[in-house]
A and B are shown apart, each in its own frame.
Chain A
């Protein structure tokens, strides 16, 4: 395995130092990190070194919708986005509701080798919301599932939700809820408010999310279990989670990059790229989720990377699928709205995009401190770079990025998975490829 010396890197945005990556771990830091023979030197001067990013919320679409994404294409996108571990959501076809399916997805991820793939198990059989899936079998499978979710659908029956929360305590699992009261959102097409009234699109009211978040934190308190709220999108939800945490309830929450940056104003052009669930909300909601992420009410940024084949978005708004891609732009969006505005430090970014999700998902070896002896799951970022998002140039198999054409800051220069470079000079490194010719961040793939 190639040994790498990152010269002048800034761990968590701190002081520049040299970092030696050898034998899958961080082997030395600072003066100890000498350049021996056969060491591949990466000029990391001024670059920020983060623990490899962990996503709790990725849709890899395999099995079932390989036309939108495969484990292979999705994890390539993840590596380019700086991720070393992703959680693959359960709404595949067949759904990830048995030990067999989660093991299949886990193996596909392991064989692809771009990042660790942790399948999310379905809470209920077929995501139907009625009967608990065999949660324990999934937990004990090779995939060692710890996170369970019917994402895409809300576990809306309070009894089923209660049982799920209770049951996963046996193996330290967490139920990740897609909070959407189904009756309040029948036929919903976008956020309910001024813009939906003007456009004549059925509204998805904020209260439909908040009502479920409120109910679930109380259920989690009652049964003493762990709850994770997926893609929280409204100011009211932030308030409820803040209240729940103050009360000592074991709840964590997530926000997506798109809910940190975009508002429902964008729907005015009826461009299906902006159709997503939960919908883009108002500027007040965006401000509230930014504040929530800054003050720790919201624990993580989850991409909700939701690829769709072109034909599912190349149509009128009403017929278009919900969802946006996000793995390759997530870090840039967080930098733009949180770091470059002074609301988060790079150390905070390491927390919300790596250590917190790794802790919530019970992922070993990820989200660790950058310290000698720790697994070398690392992401090297150039915060001074800027780029215009071109979906067709991304590794994801789908092109439904809401950021297409936007200029965003930051670029993932390198990603290391247990010491192996999956990305160097911003380019994927095929497994087994020689990097000996590479001589720095501008030379690796010249």
Chain B
């Protein structure tokens, strides 16, 4: 792996490796001193063209825990109408010697363009692009699912395990959701079965080509006993006529697709509830569902840091294991530097 642009970039082995590495990273986070020296001297740039404090802080925390230097570059408000800002910004970052660029952009494909344009030589991590992909979100969701659903409900070691046999329902605005797109691909790679649940106006034309089933009826899907329900955030502007009028009213949406106590009770005992946040309480999820013991929403945030540490580690410091899985490319920027440190430092993540 030279970049992480899409959940589809990961094959089964790579996906499991990221989850296992995240597990090791999480273990170090239980220590008193959380900071690892692994990426000392490396520079990670958080390049955010779209506001997302949560995601930015998660990446920033992950990079800092690995001792990387972090530059936060918020390009919000800068003009992208001519497209010059992405190119010019990337060239600036290149001049500053960024080893990795974590990019969030409102345009689908912008991270892909950044990675393939020659504007930067660093590793590119997609932190969410338009309606396209958000691969680290899918990885943290998969990590969370594996912790709860695999290995005797999390009581046994899950290292090396995938999600074969698990059934996950993804509910809500699939049409505009990069989280849904990423999750469908990654969950499928990991062997899980996915059912998308949404009103027909929020299901993309072309969804029949996806490795997922589609239902318009949440109660029907819940009755089949999914192992997990992943609720998607609904943007309030999707309700108005100006934004497209994808459904008639918030109340009608909540009636059809909101997760409340009654629907929660339809789930099997072991099932968990995920949400990428921030939640619209009372719209796609009721307060009692959000705060129920089945909801692992707060845990998702913590797992996000471990997963992003794993991704940055594998892209920037990855030792033999990661390199062995590289697709034979000419290596990444800075490759070959300080790799011995990784194996001798206190983390010994692949020892």
Contacts and interface: CB of A to CB of B under 8 A. Distances in A.
Contacts of A193: 205-206
B130 A200 contact: yes
A389 B199 CA distance: 47
A372 interface: no
Contact of A201 (B83, B113, B131, B209): B131
A315 B82 contact: yes
Interface residues of B, number: 32
Given A312-B83, A315-B82, A315-B87, A199 B109 contact: yes
A318 B205 contact: no
B82 A311 contact: yes
A316 B105 contact: yes
A318 B206 contact: no
Contact of A319 (B81, B131, B205, B209): B81
Interface string B102-132: 0001111110111011000000000001111
Nearest to B87: A315
Contact of B206 (A195, A269, A316, A320): A195
Contacts of A319: 80-83, 86, 107
A319 B106 CA distance: 10
Contacts of B207: 197
Contact of A311 (B84, B129, B178): B84
B181 interface: yes
Given A199-B132, A319-B80, A270 B206 contact: no
B300 interface: no
A430 B209 CA distance: 54
Contacts of A311: 82-84
B133 interface: yes
Interface string A312-350: 101111111000000000000000000000000000000
Contacts of B106: 318
B25 to A, nearest CB: 29
A218 to B, nearest CB: 26
B210 interface: yes
A189 B129 CA distance: 14
Given A200-B181, A201-B131, A316 B110 contact: yes
A270 B109 contact: yes
Nearest to A313: B83
A426 interface: no
B205 A315 contact: no
Nearest to B210: A197
A200 B133 contact: yes
Nearest to B185: A198
B83 A200 contact: no
Contacts of A318: 80, 83, 106-110, 130
A194 B107 contact: no
B204 interface: yes
Nearest to A320: B83
B178 A200 contact: yes
A195 B181 CA distance: 12
Contacts of A195: 206
A203 interface: yes
A314 B108 contact: no
A192 interface: yes
Chain A interface category by residue count? 20 to 34
Nearest to B115: A270
Given A197-B210, A199-B132, A316 B84 contact: no
B210 A317 contact: no
Contacts of B133: 200
A399 to B, nearest CB: 15
Interface in A181-203: 189, 192-203
A438 to B, nearest CB: 43
Contacts of A205: 205
A268 to B, nearest CB: 9
Nearest to B119: A314
Contacts of A192: 205-206
Contacts of B208: 194
Given A318-B107, A318-B109, A198 B83 contact: no
Contacts of A200: 108, 129-133, 178, 181
A316 B86 contact: yes
A182 B80 CA distance: 23
A58 B113 CA distance: 29
Contacts of B209: 194, 197-198
Nearest to A319: B83
A201 B109 contact: yes
Contacts of B204: 196-197, 203
Nearest to B129: A200
Contacts of B83: 311-312, 314-316, 318-320
Interface string B58-75: 000000000000000000
Interface string B76-95: 00001111101100000000
Contacts of B181: 198, 200
B88 to A, nearest CB: 10
Interface in B229-270: none
Interface in A243-269: 269
Interface centre among B113, B132, B178 (most CB of A within 10 A): B113
Contacts of B129: 200
A264 to B, nearest CB: 10
Contacts of A315: 82-84, 86-87, 113
Interface string B192-226: 00000000000011111110000000000000000
A35 B114 CA distance: 61
A317 B113 contact: yes
B210 A314 contact: no
Given A315-B83, A315-B113, A203 B130 contact: no
A197 B107 CA distance: 14
Contacts of A316: 80, 83, 86, 105, 107, 109-110, 113-114
Interface string B175-200: 00010010000000000000000000
A197 B180 CA distance: 11
B49 to A, nearest CB: 10
Interface centre among A189, A199, A205, A320 (most CB of B within 10 A): A199
A112 B84 CA distance: 34
Interface centre among B87, B112, B206 (most CB of A within 10 A): B206
B338 to A, nearest CB: 32
A317 B108 contact: yes
A270 B113 contact: yes
A197 B108 contact: no
List the 8 closest A-B pairs by CB distance, nearest first.
A315-B83, A318-B107, A319-B83, A200-B132, A197-B206, A200-B131, A270-B109, A197-B204
11 contacts: A196-B206, A197-B205, A199-B108, A201-B108, A201-B130, A201-B132, A269-B112, A270-B109, A312-B82, A314-B83, A314-B117
Interface of B: 80-84, 86-87, 105-110, 112-114, 116-117, 129-133, 178, 181, 204-210
Given A201-B109, A317-B113, 16 more contacts: A189-B108, A192-B205, A192-B206, A196-B206, A200-B181, A201-B108, A202-B131, A203-B205, A269-B112, A270-B113, A311-B84, A315-B87, A315-B113, A316-B105, A317-B108, A318-B109
